[in-house]
Amino acid sequence: MAPPVTDTLAREDFRGWPAYVLRRGPLVLRVVPAVGGRLMGIEFAGHELCFIHPELEGKTFNGEAQDWPRLCGEWSFPLWGGGKTWVAPESDWPDQAPHRDLDSGAWEVLAQHDSGGLCGIALQSRVCSTTGLQITRKLMLEPQGSQWSIEHTLSNQGPNPVRCGIWDVLMLQRPARVSIALAADAEKGGPLVTARPGNKSVDQLLEAGQLQLTPLTAVLSCDRAEEFKCGFESHDGRVSVDFQAMPVRYERHSSVTGTQAYAHGKAVEIFNAPGLAYFEVETHSPLQTLLPGQSMRYCIHESVTEII
């Protein structure tokens, strides 16, 4: 009989950053508090799934304005990599960039769990100087298999109401095929798949073979450096990713309510980058107006398995 798999939580260096590392069998999750509390690495059986910007490895933002352009490069914000929590909608971002205190600032480690059958970590951002919002992320290994959950809490610590949603964004390595379970019985009506204006339309993606649709599933090919972004009327936020360069499948799911409004219209979005070799799996909570002192919670469940 094989020995039981033991969960561990340790502190290690990861590509130049101090990291908290959760291990269970072939699964290794690496959390970097110094850069937006990110889940910076998802390793399975020696394969790294996350895109991590090679030019930003080990770097942090020191809060100095003159340091910002060096980190941003050609973009309006640093593309650190890994998984993070953004605040939606994008149209409310200051200077067309994620809230700097939340996305690039150092986060505090609130708790570590490595006993009693629990293995995980809870982190909290500083209070955003623009919105008064504060984010807490609690990452926990789930009871069985290579599975984990991330519970996001968004709190309004400021003096004004804020209309917003929680937006989980994970940067993964290209090339890959992404499958999204569609909500065929969507209550709101309208198209099941939409495309961001200014990029390829749904019809163009279909014609190019980059998007395939059945009544229950959408499949996107993220295999080249071409920018597009699609939103999906999703069934339970279910997304599955098969990587072309490694025998690994990544999956996630979350609660989706068809009658509620989402910041970008859809609960699930997929973004394919035009230059760097990554794409994003993006999941939204419903929009909510947070009064001062109020908070909202949203949880996603993730897993990785080997494709045989």
Can you give the C-alpha Rg of the chain in angstroms?
A: 19
Before 161, cis peptide (omega within 30)? no
Residue 169's nearest CA partner among 268, 69, 70 is: 268
Residue 105 CA to its chain's centroid (Å)? 17
What share of the chain has pLDDT > 70, as a percent? Answer: 97
Question: pTM of the predicted model, to two decimals?
Answer: 0.96
Q: Report pLDDT digits (tens) over 137-147.
A: 999 999 889 99
Distance CA 159, CA 153 (A): 18
Distance CA 94, CA 74 (A): 17
For residue 252, give the amino acid letter. Answer: R
Residues 6+ apart with CB under 8 A from 287: 88, 89, 163, 164, 165, 260, 261, 262, 263
Least confident segment among 18-32, 181-195, 241-255: 181-195
pLDDT of residue 116 exceeding 80, the answer is no
CA dist 210 to 172, 179, 183, 236, 282, Å? 18, 12, 20, 23, 18
3-class secondary structure per residue, 1-53: CCCCCCCEEEEEEECCEEEEEEEECCEEEEEECCCCCEEEEEEECCEECECEC
Taking residues 66-93, report their average pLDDT.
96
CA dist 94 to 88, 130, 165, 195, Å? 12, 8, 16, 23
Distance CA 252, CA 236 (A): 9
Domains in the chain and their CATH numbers? 8-306 (2.70.98.10)
Q: Report pLDDT digits (tens) over 2-29.
A: 555 679 999 999 999 999 999 999 999 9
Confidence of residue 270 (pLDDT cuts 50, 70, 90): very high
Confidence of residue 259 (pLDDT cuts 50, 70, 90): confident
Distance CA 301, CA 251 (A): 8
Distance CA 50, CA 174 (A): 9
Extract the tokens encoding 125: 């951002």
HSE at residue 264, side-chain half, CA atoms within 13 A, is 29
Helix residue spans in 178-219 (DSSP H): 202-207
What is the rounded end-to-end Cα distance, in angstroms, of the chain?
23
CA angle 119, 40, 300 (to 5 degrees): 60
